Amino acid sequence: MRLDRLLANSGYGSRTAVKDIIRKGKVTVAGLVVTDGGYQVEDFLQNTITIEDSSAKVRKYLHFLLNKPSGVITALEDSRHRTIAEFIPSTLATVGLFPVGRLDIDTTGLLLLTNDGTLCHRLASPKWHVDKTYYFEISGKYLDDIDTQKLQQGLILTDGLVCKPAILEIQTPYSGMITIQEGKYHQVKRMMKALGGTITVLERRVMGPVVLDTSLAPGELRELSQDEITMLYEAVGMVIE
């Protein structure tokens, strides 16, 4: 990968800012000063990069977990609503992060951010059978074993759409956990409506092997651990680059 892109992707500033640092001779690769931002860095040399004599932490791709709060939409730009962009630090504004799937404006919880387009597509695609588990509360409906059976069989929504089988774990008559492998528009809300209830609280707790970090306050994010990244890639048949 180009040196300037590698450093920009790793959060060292915009491509323009990184180019300037490189031109000033502040970057070395394997002990050699490099002043050309287009210098191609082989994978085995990435751990030899320094910036102003300090080892650089560089990665081809970045992956974060955001605890999405209510009242913001899963987008990076919007003229009418607050977006998740306000929770991304300015140091990461130029690395090309984008959300994996979408959560409704009033849905909270686990939202993954990555700049690996292939990983994002596979995690969001029903083809790869990635579980997405939500905690929910409803009104106007008493949950029972019949609802569990209907979801296991593949619920038919009021508009005729047939959902893939889902797992319902009832916690109280008006709350529980539901696991799906799809991500259709307002899907969990529509499923509960088809059962006769109305969602009042919805929080995503799990996506694939990654579990919501309860130490994160709403609006906080952290980088995924190496173990979490490895498991995510394995879940969709990919190898970490």
Mean pLDDT of all residues belonging to the chain: 93
CATH number at residue 136: 3.30.70.1560
Same domain, 135 and 195: yes
pLDDT in tens, 190-229: 999 999 999 999 999 999 999 999 999 999 999 999 999 9
Query: Quick check: 154 pLDDT over 90?
Result: yes
At residue 153, what are phi and psi to the nearest 5 degrees? -85, -15
Q: Which domain range does residue 225 map to?
A: 63-126+209-235
Helix axes 226-235, 117-124, angle to 10 degrees: 60
Same domain, 175 and 75: no
pLDDT in tens, 80-133: 999 999 999 887 887 889 999 999 999 999 999 999 999 999 999 888 999 999
Same domain, 89 and 112: yes
Same domain, 70 and 115: yes
CA torsion 221→138→168→74, rounded to 10°?
A: -30
Same domain, 28 and 145: no
What is d(CA 222, CA 240) in angstroms, rounded to the nearest whole number?
A: 19
Give catalytic residues, as residue numbers: 104
Residue-level pLDDT at 198: 97
Q: Which two tokens stand for residue 186?
A: 């307002």
Contacts of 191 (CB under 8 A, 6+ apart): 151, 155, 157, 163, 166, 178, 180
Residue-level pLDDT at 217: 97
Same domain, 17 and 51: yes
Residue-level pLDDT at 85: 95
* Structural domain ending residue among the three candidates 17, 38, 55: 55
CA Rg value for the chain: 21
Query: Quick check: 18 pLDDT over 70?
Result: yes
What is d(CA 216, CA 66) in angstroms, rounded to the nearest whole number?
A: 8
Of the listed ranges 28-32, 136-140, 158-162, the one predicted with least confidence: 158-162
DSSP-assigned letter for residue 106: T
Same domain, 179 and 228: no
Q: pLDDT above 90 covers what percent of the chain? A: 79
Same domain, 200 and 142: yes
Identify the three-state secondary structure at position 15: helix
Q: What pTM value is reported for the model?
A: 0.86
User: Using 50, 70 and 90 to split pLDDT, how confident is the model at 59?
Assistant: confident
Residue 241 lies in a domain: no
Residue 111 lies in a domain: yes
Of the listed ranges 23-32, 40-49, 108-117, 163-172, the one predicted with least confidence: 40-49
Residue-level pLDDT at 126: 86
Residue 82 lies in a domain: yes
Query: Residues 84, 99: contact at Cβ < 8 Å?
Result: yes
Query: Quick check: 241 pLDDT over 70?
Result: no
Q: What is the DSSP string of 114-136?
A: ES-HHHHHHHH-GGG---EEEEE
Same domain, 222 and 116: yes
Q: pLDDT above 70 covers what percent of the chain? A: 100
What is d(CA 114, CA 57) in angstroms, rounded to the nearest whole number?
A: 17
Residue 240 lies in a domain: no
Residue 42 lies in a domain: yes
Query: Residues 188, 134: contact at Cβ < 8 Å?
Result: yes
Q: What is the DSSP string of 195-238?
A: HT-EEEEEEEEEETTEE--TTSPTT-EEEPPHHHHHHHHHHTT-
* Structural domain ending residue among the three candidates 14, 34, 55: 55
CB count within 10 Å of CB 93 equals: 14
Total structural domains within the chain: 3
Residue 46 lies in a domain: yes
Query: Quick check: 60 pLDDT over 90?
Result: no
Q: Which two tokens stand for residue 42?
A: 């082989």
Higher pLDDT among residues 68 and 127, named by residue: 68
Instruction: Report which secondary-structure segment, H or E, holds 198.
Output: strand 198-207
End-to-end CA distance of the chain: 11
